[in-house]
Copies of this chain bind each other. A is one copy, B any other.
Amino acid sequence: INWGSSVQAHTYRRALDAILKLGTVEEHVKNFRPQALVLTGNPICRPAIIDFVSLLTHGHSLMICGNIILDDPLVNIKLCEKKDDAVNWLKKRNSKAFYSTVISPTVRQGAQALLQCAGVGKMRPNLVFMGFKNDWYSQPEHLVNDYFNIIHDALDLNLGIGILRLKSGLDFSDFFGGSDVLIDEFADDVYDVDEDDEDFISTPLNKTKMNHTNETNNVIRKIRSTDVMVLKNTIINEGALQSMNIFRQSQISSAVIDVWWLFDDGGLTLLIPYLLRRRKRWKECQLRIFSCVCGEKQAADQQHLAMASLLSKFRINYDDLHVLHGLNKQPNEYEIQKFNQLIQSLSGENTLNNESKETSSWNISASELEANKDKIKRGLRLHEMLLEYSSTSTLIIVTLPIPRKNSISCGLYMSWLESISHDLPPLLFLRGNQSNVLTYYS
C-alpha cells in the first residue's frame, strides 16, 4: 500500500521549521554568507558562471539561478519552458543551486522581480552575479541600458554585485541548437565530462592534467560522433569547451588569484577569494592582494603597513601584498587611444544611423566626459597595472566602481568597465553592499 512516504512529509516539515527558525536568528557579521542570485538565463548555456558561483556557495549557502524569459506575461504567463531540464542539468553539474524562471517583457523587469521576490524569509539572495556583456557596444541600446540599470537596482536593494568576464564571453548558447531536445542531448555529453572530472580530482596532479586533455578530446569526439545537428556550429573548438568548463578544471598548483582591492566595500572582495581557496581545487593556489594609492611611494609604504596589519587581523593568508602608487599618473598613449576609439565608435554609430534618434544616451557628452575625466584616467591606469601584474593570473578580482546616479551614463560606465577589463584573464568585478562581512572585533 502506497500511503506516500512519511519521511517525505517530514522532509517538508523540517525544511519549513528550519526556515521559520532562521527568521528568529539575528544577523551577525560573523555569520555572513554570500547568498547568490545568478542571472544565468538558461543555465545550460552559461556553465562557467554557474561553476564559479557554485565554488563560492558550495551547498553551504543559497544559490538561485534566475532565468528571465522574454515574453509578454500580460498575454500569456503560462510556463512553456521545461523547468526539469535545467534542474536536472544543475544536479548533474553538481551545483546545489535552485532554479527560478520568470516571464517578463524586459530583462530589467524580470531581474527586478527576482531581486525582490526570490527566496523566502531570511533565505534570500544578498549578492547578484551576472556575466559581463562582452559585446555590449554592438547590442541594441535598450538592452545595455537594462543591464546598466540592473546594477543600479541591485545596489538600491542593498545587494552586493559580482560581474564575471571571460575573454570568450559566458554565453555558449550559440553552440547549442535552439530546441530543448538538442540541448538535452548535448547536456548528456557534458555530463560525461563531469563525472570523470569528479573522479580525477582526487588523483595526483600530473596524471590529472593528462587525463583532462584526454577527456576533453574524448568529449569533443563524442559530441561529434553523436549528432552533428546537436551543434549549430558543427565545429566546437577545444578553446570554447575549455572556457565553458574553466571553473571545473582542477587547478594546477601554479594557479594565482589576484585581488585588486580598490575601495572598501565591507570586505566582500576579500571574503570571496578566501572562500574560493577553501575548495579543494583552489586550495593550493596563490593569493596576491593589490592595492593602489594615488600618491607617491611614501604613501604606498604607509598603506602597505596598514593593510598588512588589517589582513593579519582578518587572518587572511596571502602570498603577496602589493601597494602600487602613481594611480593618478597619466595613462600611456595606447590606453588613451583605445578608450577614445571606443567612445568615438559609440557616438559615431549614432551620427551614422540618423534614423535611430532615440539612442541618445550612447551620445556621451563632452561635459560628462570632463566630469568623469579623473575616474576614467584612473581606470585606464588600472588596466595598465592589471596588464603588467596580472595578465597571466588565473583569476582577477577587482572592486567594481559604482556608477553614481545621474553623474555617469550607461555608455560611459560600460566603456569604463570595458577599458578596465578587456584582454585579461577571467576577471570578476565585485562589490559588497558596504555592510561589513568581515570583522576582527571579538
Which residues from chain A sit less than 8 Å from chain B, CB to CB?
Answer: 1-5, 8-9, 11-23, 25-26, 28-31, 33, 59-62, 64, 73-74, 76-79, 87, 96, 98, 100-103, 108-109, 112-123, 149, 152-153, 156-158, 441-442
Contact = CB atoms under 8 A, between A and B. Distances in A.
A61 to B, nearest CB: 7
A387 to B, nearest CB: 36
A108 B442 contact: no
Q: How many copies of the shown chain assemble into the complex?
A: 2
Contacts of A158: 79
For A11, A12, A64, A100, the residue with the greatest tally of chain B CB atoms inside 10 Å of its CB is A12
B16 A123 contact: yes
B31 A4 contact: yes
Nearest to A119: B120
Given A16-B61, A120-B120, A74 B108 contact: yes
Nearest to A98: B121
Contact of A73 (B9, B100, B153, B442): B153
Contacts of A60: 13, 16
A396 to B, nearest CB: 29
25 contacts: A1-B442, A3-B30, A4-B29, A8-B26, A8-B28, A11-B25, A14-B18, A15-B21, A17-B59, A18-B18, A19-B98, A74-B149, A77-B115, A77-B116, A77-B152, A77-B153, A77-B156, A77-B157, A78-B156, A98-B121, A102-B116, A103-B116, A113-B117, A117-B117, A118-B120
Given A15-B123, A16-B123, A120-B123, A8 B23 contact: no
Contacts of A19: 15, 18-19, 98, 123
Nearest to A154: B77
Given A60-B16, A442-B3, A98 B120 contact: yes
Given A11-B25, A76-B156, A100-B116, 12 more contacts: A8-B28, A12-B22, A20-B96, A23-B87, A77-B115, A77-B152, A77-B153, A79-B157, A79-B158, A101-B116, A113-B117, A119-B120
Contacts of A11: 18, 21-22, 25
Contacts of A62: 16, 120
For A16, A28, A29, the residue with the greatest tally of chain B CB atoms inside 10 Å of its CB is A16
Contacts of A123: 15-16, 19, 120
A146 to B, nearest CB: 10
A114 B112 contact: no
A102 to B, nearest CB: 5
A403 B272 CA distance: 51
B20 A8 contact: no
Nearest to A73: B112
A220 to B, nearest CB: 32
A215 to B, nearest CB: 28
Contacts of A61: 12, 16
Nearest to A79: B157
